[in-house]
Each structure stands twice: as structure tokens, then as C-alpha cells.
Amino acid sequence: MARSRITPEREAELYAAVLDLLGEVGYDALTMDAVATRTKSSKATLYRQWGSKPELVVRALRSNKPVAFEEIDTGSLRGDFHAMVAATDDCQLEKDSALMRGLAQAIHGNPDLHQAMRELLIAPELTGLDAMLRRAVERGEVREGHPALPYVVHMTVGAFVARLLIEDVPPDRAFLSDYVDAVVLPALGL
């Protein structure tokens, strides 16, 4: 795979620069030229490694996630959810919220960005979440076919979006932790 030609350190450096630029100028104004200048690399290298601007941006966002669902397996569903929350930090959540807010705006005019987000960011999350929930079913914590199982993602998205929309503050760990105990686990019968 082309991506293996650069070191993980260099990759991390590039992703950090992309996220900085994204926060500074937004998706639409972010150019591959600017990324090349900022990271002292050639545009040809960027295109060879990432193919396109949406893919570069979305891979940078993905690298930024503190932890993926698939890395977590504490032995209980409650443990898994709280491990997810504990792996984030409030400062990071605030920065992420600002980035995602800008991107939510950008996807309207950029179907290729929307597509890249679905494939590289949302689909792996959904797969990881499904695996986490399947383990809970296999352990007997949640009943097979429980009606709330397909909606865990909706509950979770609501926590993030409604907090921003209504309270105008990004979610923080205390809020997410309380939401897991007050909403997600009880809806699943735990």
C-alpha cells in the first residue's frame, strides 16, 4: 500500500498539520498546496499517499480519535462505554466539536467529503459499536434482538448534537458518562 512509504511519525505530523489547517481556515479553503507548504512536502507526495483532499482530511480526523471501539473490550458493556468516555478528554472533545461542526457544514457542498466520511470514519465506528454490542448479547447482558440495539448510535449522536444545538456547549466527559448511565444502558435494559 502506498501509504506505507512514509513513517508513522511523519504520518502523524502530517495529520496534525492538516487538522491545524482545518481548524484555522475550514475545509473549503484548505488546499493541498497549503498542506504541502505547511508540512514541507510536495503536492505529488500528498496525492500519491492519500489520493485526494477529502481522503487526506478524513484520515487525519480518524487519526485524531483517542480510541476506536474495536480496541475496547473490558468484559462488560457498562465497562466498554465508560472506557470509551474515559479515553477522551474535555479539551479534545471541544476541539473535535469545533472541527465536526465545520465539517458538517462542508459536507453539504462536497459529496466526495461526505462519501469519505461515511467510508473511513462512520462505517468503522458502526462496525466497532456493533461488535461491542454483539459481545454484550453473547455474554447475556443484553437480550438478543433487544429493540433498542439498532438505536444505540442514534442515542449517542443525540448526546453530541443536542448538547451543541440546545445548550451551545460541547459535550464533556462528565456529561457523556452521565448520559451512558441515565439513557443508553437503561434503554438496553441494563
Quote the cell numbers at residue 65.
480519535
Q: For its own copies, which stretch binds (CB under 8 A), given 15-23, 28-36, 60-68, 181-189?
A: 181-189
Query: Cα angle at 43 between 40 and 48, to 5 degrees?
Result: 115
Q: Residue 3 or 118: which CB sits closer to its own copies? A: 118
- Identify the helix (H) or strand (E) that includes residue 105: helix 90-109
Per CB under 8 A, the list member of 66, 79, 111, 189 interacting with its own copies is 189
For residues 190 and 78, is the Cβ–Cβ distance under 8 A? yes
Asked if residue 155 binds its own copies (CB under 8 A), the reply is: yes
Q: Residue 40 or 154: which CB sits closer to its own copies? A: 154
Per CB under 8 A, the list member of 29, 44, 157, 169 interacting with its own copies is 157
Angle in degrees, 0-180, between the axes of helices 53-63 and 32-39, rounded to the nearest 10 = 50
Other CB atoms within 10 A of residue 134 CB: 13
Per CB under 8 A, the list member of 25, 44, 67, 104 interacting with its own copies is 104
Q: Residue 101 or 134: which CB sits closer to its own copies? A: 101
Q: Residue 51 or 102: which CB sits closer to its own copies? A: 102
For residues 87 and 46, is the Cβ–Cβ distance under 8 A? no
Q: For its own copies, which stretch binds (CB under 8 A), given 50-58, 59-67, 84-92, 147-155?
A: 147-155
CA quadruple 133, 77, 185, 165: dihedral positive or negative?
negative
Q: Residue 86 or 187: which CB sits closer to its own copies? A: 187
d(CA 26, CA 182): 35
Residue ranges in contact with its own copies by CB under 8 A: 101-102, 104-105, 108, 122, 126, 147-148, 150-151, 153-159, 161-163, 165-166, 178-179, 181-183, 186-187, 189
